[in-house]
Amino acid sequence: MITEKTRAEMREIIARYPQPRSALLPMLHLVQSEEGFVSPDGIEVCAELLDITAAEVAAVATFYTMYKRRPVGDYHVGVCTNTLCAVMGGDQIMAGLKDHLGIGNDETTEDGKVTLEHVECNAACDFAPVVMVNWEFFDNMTPDRARKLVDDLRAGVEVEADRGARVCTWRQAERVLAGFPDGRADEGPSAGEASLAGLRVAHERGWTAGGHAAAAAPDLTTRGSTPAEATRTAAETDTTRAESESRAAEAGVGRGGEGPSSRPETPNSGAENADNAGSAGSADGEKGQR
């Protein structure tokens, strides 16, 4: 049951956004912090406060995997079984935890402490295989270490993530994701040796995102909302990228001896140039469908 206090906090979240419905994602996290999952009551309250339909709220809640349809235990243990983690031992960790806890994927132990779920890549492949507890990282895991981790969690032992804060409960973590900080964001290391090694190499060799940064990060605030506007924005983005790459070509990176309007060599630059030589209408039409 969503309380009056939570309703008031939802209104506080809504007030943070120019468009009320933009508040839906943090509101759903707040629902999870109170109910342990996205409950039917939580969906109804979100719909009522945002003046949208319950179907629209449910569509969002069932799209993103961080929103759960069944109550989660105190600790959501996510084992990455995506390709790299799987071959580095993630599959064995998952199988070992299922056996150790006596539960299957997306199930919770009888004491309500641990919910086990296999998760997709957590963008921490340099620390594979990775396990997350309430979205905090545990790196370079082994089946033995994973078993000890869940035993400690169930026994109430305080557990520190390898990168990040001390592990709190699922509901506490959901409250932080809803936008109500617990003041522990700076606890623990935020980066690990594997990531920092790449940074050191970049510094040593003088590598920067440099001239490609603008092209790689178009201004999303100006992205068109209609197909025609989206097509125009895509075309403008491509032009920026082409200009950036042309400057790189002039500076000697890529194919030499070509004019500034040519792109540097890429695996399919010939095909792209052939497309560009065709009708602008058809090229734009293709972009508009992406």
d(CA 63, CA 180): 23
Sites for ligand FES among residues 147-206 (CB under 6 A):
none
Nearest distance, CB of residue 162 and ligand FES, angstroms: 13
Please, what is the minimum distance in Å from the beta carbon of residue 136 to ligand FES?
14
The structure tokens listed for 181 are 């900080």
Q: Total binding residues for ligand FES by CB under 6 A?
A: 11
Nearer to ligand FES, 123 or 277 (CB): 123
Alpha helix locations (H) across the chain? Answer: 4-14, 24-35, 40-50, 54-61, 83-85, 91-101, 143-155, 170-177, 193-205, 212-216, 227-250, 269-277, 280-288
**CA–CA separation, 44 and 52 (whole Å):** 10
* Choice between 30 and 128, CB closer to ligand FES: 128
Please work out, in degrees rounded to the nearest 5, the angle formed at the alpha carbon of residue 27 by the alpha carbons of 184 and 52: 165
Nearest to 223 by CA among 236, 241, 207, 239: 236
Nearer to ligand FES by Cβ, of 37 and 127: the residue is: 127
Q: Which is nearer to ligand FES, 82 or 262 (CB)?
A: 82
Tell me whether residue 84 or residue 214 sits nearer to ligand FES (CB atom).
Answer: 84
Smallest distance, ligand FES to C-beta of residue 90, A: 7
From residue 9, give the alpha-carbon distance in Å to each of 28, 39, 41, 72: 12, 17, 16, 22
Site string for ligand FES, 99-128 (x = CB under 6 A): ----------------------xx-xx--x
Q: Are 8 and 14 in contact (CB under 8 A)?
A: no
Write the binding mask 47 to 86 for ligand FES: x where contact by CB under 6 A, - elsewhere: ---------------------------------x-xxxx-
Minimum Å gap between C-beta 196 and ligand FES is: 17
Identify the bridge partners of residue 117 per DSSP, sorted by sequence position: 78
Q: Min. distance of Cβ 133 from ligand FES in angstroms?
A: 14
Select 90 or 264, whichever has its Cβ closest to ligand FES: 90
Measured CA distances, 107 to 56, 72, 73, 81 (Å): 27, 8, 9, 16
Residue 130 within binding range of ligand FES, rule CB under 6 A? yes
Chain residues in the site for ligand FES (CB under 6 A): 80, 82-85, 121-122, 124-125, 128, 130
